[in-house]
Amino acid sequence: MYNDNQILIGLKAGNYTVFDFLYSKYRDKVIEYVVKNNGSETEAEDVLQDSIVNVYKRLKISDIIIDKNFDVYFTTVYRNNWRTIAKIKNKRTFTDEFPEDLIFEEIDFYKEYQYAQFHRLTAIKFKELKSDCQKIIEQYYTHKKSLNEIAYLMEYENVQSVRNKKHRCLEYLRELIKNHTNYKNLSYE
């Protein structure tokens, strides 16, 4: 159990246990809300993940001032998220009353939605890569290691071998994303 302050600190720090706590606390609530409002369980999972990411991103920019408590705040976040997606998908049949003034920020919803979709798709496809591919891509792009360092860390014969492998892995990842229905539907460009 975490209090509101611990949740915010844990989220900002990227604490796995806090993410897990939020997931277990809100999973059923989000599913209930989304399904009740014309969505599916899969869409509800996406809404929950996007809502946690949204709060995390806000916290990275500045501290969040919560009026009542985290539960009320987070409920507003995930409901707004689903309203956004439902609007995009023209699923406007809402069964609950949700005052417009609770939407706390005007954003380019559609762009934000596509951005989240693409992030999720990339992460899912990345997980499908073999572990050596995941490692080489992570080392190069996420941890910004040089090809020399990667050759040493992963015991490759030389830099050229690392370069070739990196290109092969990236090519594979790109094709996985490109050929996925969600990407085709995104009209991301």
Partner 1 sequence: MNNYERTELIENYLDGELRGNDLEKFELQIQTDKVLKEDLFLQREIRKVLTSDEFDLRMKLIEIGERYQAEKKIVKKRKPVLTYTVLSLIVIAVFSSVFFFNNRLTNDELFEKHYKHYSSETLTQSVEISYEDIYINALRVYDKNQYNEAITMFNQVSVSSPYYYSKEYFTGLSYMELKNYNEAIKHFKIVIDSNESLITESTVWYLALCYLKTNQNQQAINQLNKLTSNDSDFKVQANEIIEEIKE
Q: By CB under 8 A, name the binding residues for partner 1.
A: 14, 16-17, 19-20, 23-24, 27, 45, 48-49, 52-53, 56-57, 60, 118-120, 122-124, 126-127, 137-138, 141-142, 144, 166-168, 170-171, 173-175, 177-178, 188-189
Taking the complex as a whole, how short is the minimal distance between the CB of residue 145 and partner 1, in angstroms? 12
Taking the complex as a whole, how short is the minimal distance between the CB of residue 97 and partner 1, in angstroms? 29
Taking the complex as a whole, how short is the minimal distance between the CB of residue 131 and partner 1, in angstroms? 11
Of 87 and 174, which has the nearer Cβ to partner 1? 174
Taking the complex as a whole, how short is the minimal distance between the CB of residue 68 and partner 1, in angstroms? 25
Of 87 and 167, which has the nearer Cβ to partner 1? 167
* Contact between residue 137 and residue 129 where contact means Cβ atoms under 8 Å apart: yes
Of 83 and 165, which has the nearer Cβ to partner 1? 165
Residue type at position 103: I
Question: 94 in the Ramachandran plot: left (φ > 0), alpha (ψ -120 to 50) or beta?
Answer: beta
Of 77 and 173, which has the nearer Cβ to partner 1? 173
Residue type at position 90: N
* Contact between residue 80 and residue 72 where contact means Cβ atoms under 8 Å apart: no
Cβ neighbour number for residue 23 with a 10 Å cutoff = 14
Taking the complex as a whole, how short is the minimal distance between the CB of residue 21 and partner 1, in angstroms? 9
Q: What are phi and psi of 8, to 5 degrees?
A: -65, -40
What gap in Å lies between CA 164 and CA 152, rounded to an integer? Answer: 15
Of 57 and 67, which has the nearer Cβ to partner 1? 57
Burial 52-62 (b: 16+ CB within 10 A, else e): bbbbeebeeee
